[in-house]
Structure 1
Amino acid sequence: MAKTKNRWLIAASAVGIHASIGSVYAYSAWKMPLENTFGWSSPKTSMAFSIAIFFLGLSAAFLGRYIERKGASKGGLLSAAFFCTGLIGSAAACWYENITLFYLFFGVVSGIGLGLGYITPVSTLVKWFPDRRGLATGLAIMGFGFGGLICAQLIDQFVPMQEEIVLHKDVKTYDYLQALESDPAAAARMIEGAPSLESYKAQSTEAAALYREKQTDSAEYAVVKATTDDYRSTLIYDKKSIASAFFFLGIIYLCIMVPSALYIAPPPEGYAEKFAAADPKKAKAIALKGEMTAKEALRTPGFYGLWLMLFINVSCGIAVIATAKKMGYEMVRLPVEMASLLVMGISLFNGLGRIIWATFSDFIGRSNTYVAFFAIQIIAFPLLANLTGAPVLFMIVTFLILSCYGGGFASIPAYISDLFGLKEMPTIHGYILTAWSCAGIVGPMINAYVYKQTHSYQGSLYVFGGAFVIALIISLLMKIEIKRINRHYSAQQIEAARPHTHGE
Structure 2
Amino acid sequence: MSSAQKTKNRWLIAASAVGLHISIGSIYAYSAWKMPLENAFGWSSSDTSTAFSIAIFFLGISAAFLGRFIEKKGASKGGLLAASFFSVGLLGSALACYLQNLYLFFLFFGMVSGIGLGLGYISPVSTLVKWFPDRRGLATGLAIMGFGFGGLVCAKLISTFVPAQDEIVLPADQKTYDYLELQKTAPEEAAKIVSTVPALETYKEQSKLADELHREHKTDTPEYAAAKEIKDGFKSTLVYDKGDITKAFLFLGGIYLLVMVPSALYIAPPPAGYADKFAKGSDPKKAKSAAVAGEMTAKQAVRTPGFYGLWLMLFINVSCGIAVIATAKKMGYEMVRLPEVQAGLLVMGISLFNGLGRIMWASASDFIGRSNTYVAFFAIQIIAFPALAYLTGSPIAFMAVTFIILTCYGGGFAAIPAYISDLFGLKEMPTIHGFILTAWSAAGIVGPSINEYVYKTTGSYSGSLWVFGGAFVVALIISVLMKKEIKRIQNGYAAAETANPTPAKAA
**Aligned pair partner of 2:298 in 280, 294, 297:** 294
Shift of 1:301: 0.9
Change (3 A) 1:334 1:238: farther
Alignment of 1:153-168 (within 5 A): 153-168=156-171
Alignment of 1:486-501 (within 5 A): 486-496=490-500
Alignment of 1:76-91 (within 5 A): 76-91=79-94
Shift of 1:450: 4.5
Change (3 A) 1:241 1:390: farther
Q: Which residue of 1 aligns with 2:183?
A: 180
Q: Does 1:426 align with 2:423?
A: no
Give CA-to-partner distance per residue, 1:209-239, whole Å, 9 cap, x none: 2222233344443333233222222222221
Q: Which residue of 1 aligns with 2:174?
A: 171
Q: Does 1:98 align with 2:119?
A: no
Shift of 1:464: 3.0
Q: Which residue of 1 aligns with 2:505?
A: none
Change (3 A) 1:427 1:455: same
Q: Which residue of 1 aligns with 2:474?
A: 470
Alignment of 1:44-55 (within 5 A): 44-55=47-58
* Alignment size in residue pairs: 498
- Name the stretch that deviates more: 161-170 or 215-224: 215-224
Q: Which residue of 2 aligns with 1:190?
A: 193
Q: Does 1:27 align with 2:30?
A: yes
- Structure-1-length-normalised TM-score: 0.93
Distance in 2 (alpha carbons) for counterparts of 1:455 and 1:478: 37
Give CA-to-partner distance per residue, 1:229-285, whole Å, 9 cap, x none: 222222222211111111100000000000000000001111111333344431111
**Aligned pair partner of 2:312 in 308, 313, 328:** 308
Alignment of 1:393-408 (within 5 A): 393-408=397-412
Shift of 1:206: 2.3
Q: Check whether the contact 1:84–1:251 (CA below 8 A) recurs between aligned residues.
A: yes
Q: Does 1:42 align with 2:60?
A: no
Q: Which letter maps to 1:473?
A: I
Change (3 A) 1:220 1:337: closer
Q: Which residue of 2 aligns with 1:2?
A: 3
Q: Which letter maps to 1:166?
A: V
Q: Which residue of 2 aligns with 1:74?
A: 77
Q: Which letter maps to 1:477?
A: L
Q: Does 1:366 align with 2:370?
A: yes
Q: Check whether the contact 1:22–1:143 (CA below 8 A) recurs between aligned residues.
A: yes
Unpaired segments ≥5 residues, structure 2: 503-507
Q: Which residue of 2 aligns with 1:56?
A: 59
- Name the stretch that deviates more: 23-32 or 373-382: 373-382
Distance in 1 (alpha carbons) for counterparts of 2:414 and 2:89: 25
Change (3 A) 1:330 1:97: farther
Q: Which residue of 2 aligns with 1:209?
A: 212
Q: Does 1:384 align with 2:384?
A: no
Q: Does 1:413 align with 2:417?
A: yes
**Aligned pair partner of 1:262 in 265, 274, 290:** 265
Change (3 A) 1:208 1:441: same
SS at match of 1:215: coil
SS at match of 2:100: coil
Distance in 1 (alpha carbons) for counterparts of 2:9 and 2:50: 41
Q: Check whether the contact 1:28–1:321 (CA below 8 A) recurs between aligned residues.
A: no
Change (3 A) 1:222 1:458: farther
Q: Does 1:18 align with 2:52?
A: no
Q: Check whether the contact 2:168–2:200 (CA below 8 A) recurs between aligned residues.
A: yes
Alignment of 1:313-332 (within 5 A): 313-325=317-329, 327-328=331-332
Q: Check whether the contact 2:215–2:337 (CA below 8 A) recurs between aligned residues.
A: no
Change (3 A) 1:380 1:313: same
Q: Does 1:482 align with 2:486?
A: yes
**Percent of aligned pairs with the same residue?**
74
Q: Which residue of 2 aligns with 1:119?
A: 122
Distance in 1 (alpha carbons) for counterparts of 2:46 and 2:462: 17
